[in-house]
Amino acid sequence: MKYGVVVFPGSTCDVDAYSLVKDVLKQSVEYIWHQEEKVTGFDCLILPAGASFGDYLRCGALARFSPVMKAVADFARQGGLVLGLGNGFQILTEAGLLPGALYRNTSLQFRCQDSYLKVENCDTPFTREIPPEQVLKIPIAHGQGNYYADPETLRQLKANGQIIFRYATAEGEVTPAANPNGSVDNIAGVCNESKNVLGMMPLPERASEALLGSADGKLIFTSILKYWEECRL
């Protein structure tokens, strides 16, 4: 399986994502510079975390107009898997590939801590290998991860099973105290209607090896691999 990691000026977790795919998943991976107008031969594209374009204007607002994003949108439209992590999630919402928007944490603090995620939908290419009821321990590191969607969008997200991860306690209880950034309904990750584009503020690439404190994030990538293998048959 071949991954592409899109690199924007200011991306900082591109190397984390690259090394995860290469060293942990043992799959092939290439960087894709944001000026590329074509992306071919990839099975999954990762939009990495970090402050693309310095987070100027709004997080993700400038990256969304990089030439590569048209190719990313085409890839997504054809059913290709796109995973936006942290800033990558912000870019996907700015690009309209995912609903809603992300803005300043209600605490006004940059939050760098472990978060616990309740998995709301295990029937997606990104979550199918996650045992139901398993709570994922995956860290966050952001100042603007406060997810907002208007009530009508929220209703559609719920109806279509597009809410994938919600911030919870270690026991899997979704409570206001477990919400690190003020996100509506504790939302930590959402996907598009066809479930092939996922955005999440927690950073699974930082939690895919036991040595890093948690390997729970790897379940997302083994799900992707399993999905890809089945699609190939």
Partner 1 sequence: MLKAEIKVLLKQGVLDPQGQAAEKSLSALGYQNINQVRIGKYLEVTLNEKDRTAAEAQVREMCTRLLTNAVIEDYTFELVEV
Q: Which residues bind partner 1 (CB under 8 A)?
A: 57-58, 61-62, 65, 93-94, 100-101, 103-108, 146, 148-150, 182
Decide whether 163 or 224 has the Cβ nearer to partner 1: 163
C-alpha R_g of the chain: 16
Q: How many degrees, rounded to 5, is the angle at CA 66 between CA 62 and CA 71?
A: 135
What are 185's two structure tokens?
Answer: 């309904």
Strands 146-148 and 101-103: antiparallel
Decide whether 42 or 167 has the Cβ nearer to partner 1: 167
Contacts of 55 (CB under 8 A, 6+ apart): 10, 87, 144
Distance (Å, rounded) from C-alpha 230 to C-alpha 41? 18
Amino acid at 155: R
Q: Tokens 């997200």 sit at which residue?
A: 157
Min dist. Cβ of residue 61 to partner 1 (A): 7
Decide whether 81 or 200 has the Cβ nearer to partner 1: 200
Give yes or no for a contact between 140 and 180, defined as CB atoms under 8 angstroms apart.
Answer: yes
Min dist. Cβ of residue 184 to partner 1 (A): 9
**Beta-carbon-side half-sphere exposure of residue 100 (alpha carbons within 13 Å):** 32
Min dist. Cβ of residue 128 to partner 1 (A): 29
Min dist. Cβ of residue 215 to partner 1 (A): 34
Distance (Å, rounded) from C-alpha 177 to C-alpha 43? 38
Min dist. Cβ of residue 108 to partner 1 (A): 5
Decide whether 108 or 211 has the Cβ nearer to partner 1: 108
Give yes or no for a contact between 202 and 164, defined as CB atoms under 8 angstroms apart.
Answer: no
Decide whether 31 or 148 has the Cβ nearer to partner 1: 148
Decide whether 62 or 76 has the Cβ nearer to partner 1: 62
Min dist. Cβ of residue 78 to partner 1 (A): 25
Q: Give the chain's count of helices (H) and strands (E).
A: 5, 11
